[in-house]
Structure 1
Amino acid sequence: MARLLTGGLIVAIVAALLFFLYSSSYRTRLEEQTQQISQLNAELLKLQNENEQLKAELAKVQGEQNILATQNEEMRKAIASFKATGKMPPNLPPPK
Structure 2
Amino acid sequence: MRIIYCSVVLIASLALGGCNQGFSDADIVAAKKNIKEEFEKNAGLTVSDVTLIKESSNKLTGFMKARYMGHEIMKSCSATMAEKGGTYLWKCE
TM interval, shorter chain, is 0.3 to 0.5
Specify which structure has the higher proportion of helix. 1
Instruction: Point out which structure has higher relative CO (alpha carbons under 8 A, 6+ apart).
Output: 2
Larger Rg: 1
What TM-score, normalized to structure 1? 0.33
What TM-score, normalized to structure 2? 0.34
